[in-house]
Amino acid sequence: MTDISKAGTFKLGTHSVKRVGYGAMQLAGAGVFGPPKDRKGALAVLREAVASGVDHIDTSDYYGPYITNQLIREALHPYPENLVIVTKIGARRGEDGSWSPALSAEELARAVHDNLRNLGVEVLDIVNLRLMFDIHGPAEGSIEAPLAALAKLQRQGLIRHIGLSNVTAKQLEQGRTIADIVCVQNQYNLAHRDDGPLIDQLAATGIPYVPFFPLGGFTPLQSTALSDVAARLERTPMQVALAWLLQRSSNILLIPGTSSVDHLRENLASADLDLPPDMVAALDQIAPEAGRE
């Protein structure tokens, strides 16, 4: 079994968590909607993750909706004391599986109570406010009203910590004047690297950055350079992509998702993969960041 502690730890809220965690999104059905095809398999993945040392699970009640949180509760409740469960609110699902913003104070309060009930807890460890000004990526707009509503729920004792998702640097700056922000979750991977400066900014202030779609999301990463490095190391391209993220910055926490125990083990094995400088340089050229070529 892979020792995922080899990748180190980083502070997330009041806990220090291992830098390789698990994202539960893929436990729902196709399109992150409806129940999984293999419920027993989904439960087995969650139990294997925790048995392998994972102490950071990312989820949301709009996965399914409600499905992934109910699976997490069935598989893992009562939860280990060291397990940090991070959930997201700010969206809702239509009957056709569509995604829509849900950022009013009433919708956010309902989402928090739904998460509490479906996870079977009295307090949520961390709640990420997912901004939906543009469902395809970060877009500018004031976050004062929804974040203030979330901070009120925190003062009521329903939430320990608050994070932000799908945000710009300007919105993060605004958010930190309203609440203590303990993490940022945006899209970032080998081929999508717009957030490089934000990652460095967060690292300087000790805030973790949690990349969603670390393996490309619904369109898996494909690159000749990535395949070549993987072949030289006798590892899979996805393991190399995860290892590159771990080496990119010490404040990056991974949450690769899967509904397969075998793929889970492959993802966790990225924790002990050390990429030599020449291979990092080759991977960096897939999508060079400004100022880091």
pTM, 2 dp: 0.96
Given this model, what pLDDT does residue 293 score? 47
Domain at 4-284: CATH code: 3.20.20.100
Q: Give ∠ CA 186-142-137 in degrees, rounded to 5.
A: 30
Residue boundaries of the structural domains of the chain:
4-284
Low-confidence residues of the chain, pLDDT below 70?
290-293
- Taking each helix axis from N to C end, the angle separating 67-76 and 105-119, rounded to the nearest 10 degrees, works out to 30
Catalytic residue among 22, 62, 63, 66: 63
79: annotated active-site residue: no
- Name the helix (H) or strand (E) containing 164: strand 159-165
Given this model, what pLDDT does residue 290 score? 56
pLDDT > 90 fraction of the chain, expressed in percent and rounded: 92
Given this model, what pLDDT does residue 292 score? 57
Given this model, what pLDDT does residue 291 score? 53
